[in-house]
Amino acid sequence: MDSARSLICPLFTTRSGTRGEALTSRRAVESGQRAVLPVSVEVEQYAKEVLDFSSHYGSENSMSYTMWNLAGVPNVYPSSGDFTQAAVFRAYGKWWEQCASAPPPFRRTPKDFHSQDYIELGFEEPVYPTAVEVLETYYPGAIVQILACSHNHFSQNPPTDVRWEVLWSGEPTKMLTPQARQFSPSIKLISFPTNLLRLEVNSSLLDYYTELDAVILHGVKHRPLPALYKLHVIDINDVSDGEEELPDVGGGFRQGGDGKNQRTGNGYFDKLPYELIQLILSHLTLPDLCRLAQSCKLLHQHCCDPLQYTQLSLQPYWARLSDASLGHLQSRCTLLQRLNLSWTGNRGALTSTGFSSFIKACGHNLMCLELSCCHFLNEACLEVISQTCPELQELNLSSCDRLHSQAFTHISKITRLRRLVLYRTKIEQTAILSILTFCIELRHLNLGSCVMIEDYDVVASMLAARCRSLCSLDLWRCRNLTDRGLAELVTGCRMLEELDLGWCPTLQSNTGCFQHLARSLPYLRKLFLTANRTVCDSDIDELAANCPSLQHLDILGTRLVSAASLKQLLQSCPRLLLLDVSFCCQIDTRVVQELSGLFPNASIKKSFTQ
């Protein structure tokens, strides 16, 4: 693949309005009438730059399978299949949600919020969008939302009043075929020009990784219609804590002129037990709860009860969350235990000052804090978290790749941590060793794609010595773990149920490290040895003999595993649900079909290219 692909300039094509359209438009203006179609130039452009994303399958130091492949013209389309030149997200299907390392879902998540990953793309020219085309080259159907932003990323002016509008939204779908397609849904008109698009995806229904090749933005430089429309935006800032304008409907009845009691307000609703009303309100989404609080004094009291806010997921409202939003919610969150701010606050909508103020006021009981892709975070924020949240057990900083390395040292003060996600962060060796020294209760640790850690053997040794109850460990794409470090790890952390060693090139089967792993981890349920070409039949035989609870196994890319050893594995591990044998030289499509017929409960993956 050409590593200079991201430097390719976007391709422009234009279509000017016809002379007849121009004359019609001019005559309409002169006669005071509204023109049907103004003179316009249609622009077609590919993405100039990948601005932000939540995850990718590739590494931080190459272009294979990375989100950066979405910049520029297509490299794969119209071909179908598994290509390194495509953009691929980190996960697919429901496998990851079923793992012990997956956190429980947040209550009150809106049913129409399906997004699990995102990517933001910058284009050269701001336009009023008329169409968006996404070239999907493998397992299409994951895109659930396309949004446009009013901010020009390439402008020298700081962002002010940044707006996001949904151009299209839908539900995750499972296509009948994994073949390539050109996805171009009907989009809404918006009242501002844009050169920043955001795609949100949900791959939970797909049988394999979805792959994207390019995105094309079509648009005109002048509004295609007069600005007679204003798209409705639900704003969670519309929350009032004052009661002076709220009607008092607690009376329920009033005396009519004929002497009869007439029904008013909420009737006997206020006669219900307080707990029952609270239970009813617990099924509302956050915006609905905020709106209901403005209806009357009784419901205002119920809607502002801190017991309604022990769990708070603001991720679905990332596009409009601000410091003011947190300020409005602050008085209601005094009992807050689980908070999800993932994806929020970028481009200045939420500041480190506003976040820190909220945490200082509401973080004393926090046990779970999700901050994935929160680029407003700085060292001061992590210091506030470490000082304010003594009960914190779960912290997710996934893809917070703009945090400076020294900021992570504060995490070592949160000694009750049980789950820590540092995927795609700039944490360095000194900080992670400090964390492992003091956070000895860790059960789940994700260090995937942490490229700044110099020696994973030292990290593995520290884990073995200090975190002996570790349940899951993700070392995806760690570059320097050796058989010595792995041996120490599995000897000291025998409770491991999940271990991701995908794309770890320094591990070699001929050292016996994988056989020792299988013999040392009797509770193993998930093992990824992705792209390790040295995995062989002896390793698979040891897994079959020692890991009866195995559910997920990825041995993509190995050349030395035979069909016979896989059959033995499937017989010995009846709970096996996922087996990826893509690019395994000895395992062809015929073998996959035969094994799938014999073991229908196992989903055996074999990707292809055309």
What CATH code is carried by the domain that includes residue 506?
3.80.10.10
Task: Evaluate the CA torsion angle 291, 295, 298, 300 in order and state its sign.
Answer: positive
Which helix H or strand E contains 420, and what residues bound it? strand 419-421
CATH of the domain at 132: 2.60.120.260
Quick one: pLDDT at residue 156? 81
419-458 residues labelled b (16+ CB within 10 A) or e (exposed)? bbbbbbbbbbbebbbbbbeebeebbbbbbbbbeebeebbb
Beta carbons of 380 and 355 less than 8 angstroms apart: no
Quick one: pLDDT at residue 325? 94
3-state helix, strand, coil in the chain (%, to 5): 30, 20, 55
**138-189 per-position pLDDT tens digit:** 999 999 999 999 999 888 877 778 999 999 999 999 999 999 999 999 999 9
Q: Who has greater pLDDT, 310 or 153?
A: 310
Q: Which is nearest to 102 in space by CA: 373, 414, 419, 392? A: 419
Cα–Cα dist 442/439, whole Å: 6
Flag whether 260 is in a domain: no
Choose the weakest-confidence range: 184-193, 256-265, 553-562. 256-265
**583-592 per-position pLDDT tens digit:** 999 999 999 9
Q: Who has greater pLDDT, 3 or 142?
A: 142
Q: Which two tokens stand for residue 189?
A: 């008109």
**Residue 517 pLDDT more than 60?**
yes
Q: Name the domain count of the chain.
A: 2
Quick one: pLDDT at residue 160? 75
**535-560 per-position pLDDT tens digit:** 999 999 999 999 999 999 999 999 99
Banded pLDDT at 231 (limits 50, 70, 90): very low
Last residue of a domain, one of 197, 220, 243: 220
Choose the weakest-confidence range: 224-233, 373-382, 435-444. 224-233
Flag whether 342 is in a domain: no
pTM: 0.89
**Residue 279 pLDDT more than 80?**
yes
**Residue 275 pLDDT more than 60?**
yes
Across the range 48-63, mean pLDDT stands at: 95
Please name the residues in contact with 456: beta carbons below 8 A apart, sequence gap of 6 or more: 475, 478, 479, 480, 481, 485
Choose the weakest-confidence range: 254-268, 427-441, 551-565. 254-268
Percent of the chain with pLDDT over 90: 80
Q: Which residue has the tokens 């009866």?
A: 548
Q: Which is nearest to 26 in space by CA: 11, 10, 42, 37? A: 37
Last residue of a domain, one of 220, 252, 274: 220
**334-372 per-position pLDDT tens digit:** 999 999 999 999 888 899 999 999 999 999 999 999 999
Please name the residues in contact with 531: beta carbons below 8 A apart, sequence gap of 6 or more: 502, 503, 505, 556, 557
Average pLDDT, the chain: 89
Across the range 257-265, mean pLDDT stands at: 49
Q: How far is CA 532 from CA 298, 314, 501, 539, 578, in A?
A: 63, 39, 9, 12, 18
Cα–chain-centroid distance for residue 334?
A: 27
**Residue 194 pLDDT more than 90?**
yes
527 phi/psi in degrees, rounded to 5: -140, 120
Flag whether 587 is in a domain: yes
**Residue 191 pLDDT more than 60?**
yes
Please name the residues in contact with 32: beta carbons below 8 A apart, sequence gap of 6 or more: none
Q: How far is CA 204 from CA 56, 343, 508, in A?
A: 15, 19, 33
**Residue 208 pLDDT more than 80?**
yes
Quick one: pLDDT at residue 27? 37
Beta carbons of 424 and 399 less than 8 angstroms apart: yes
Banded pLDDT at 225 (limits 50, 70, 90): low
Quick one: pLDDT at residue 569? 98
**Residue 244 pLDDT more than 70?**
no
Range of the domain at 484: 455-609
**Residue 323 pLDDT more than 50?**
yes
Judge if the upstream peptide bond of residue 390 is cis by omega within 30 degrees of 0.
Answer: no
Q: Which two tokens stand for residue 519?
A: 């013999």
Quick one: pLDDT at residue 33? 43
**124-150 per-position pLDDT tens digit:** 999 999 999 999 999 999 999 999 999
Q: Which two tokens stand for residue 439?
A: 């956070």
Quick one: pLDDT at residue 202? 98
Banded pLDDT at 232 (limits 50, 70, 90): very low
DSSP string for residues in 129-158: EEEEEEEEEES---EEEEEEESS-TT-SSP
Q: Who has greater pLDDT, 9 or 564?
A: 564
**Residue 109 pLDDT more than 80?**
yes
**Residue 35 pLDDT more than 70?**
no
Which amino acid makes up residue 117? D
429 phi/psi in degrees, rounded to 5: -65, -40
Which helix H or strand E contains 502, and what residues bound it? none
Quick one: pLDDT at residue 223? 83
What is the side-by-side strand order in the sheet with 603-605?
311-313, 338-340, 368-370, 394-396, 419-421, 444-446, 472-474, 498-500, 526-528, 552-554, 578-580, 603-605
Last residue of a domain, one of 188, 220, 252: 220
Neighbouring-strand partners of residue 419:
394, 444
**457-497 per-position pLDDT tens digit:** 999 999 999 999 999 999 999 989 999 999 999 999 999 99
Quick one: pLDDT at residue 98? 87
Quick one: pLDDT at residue 229? 46
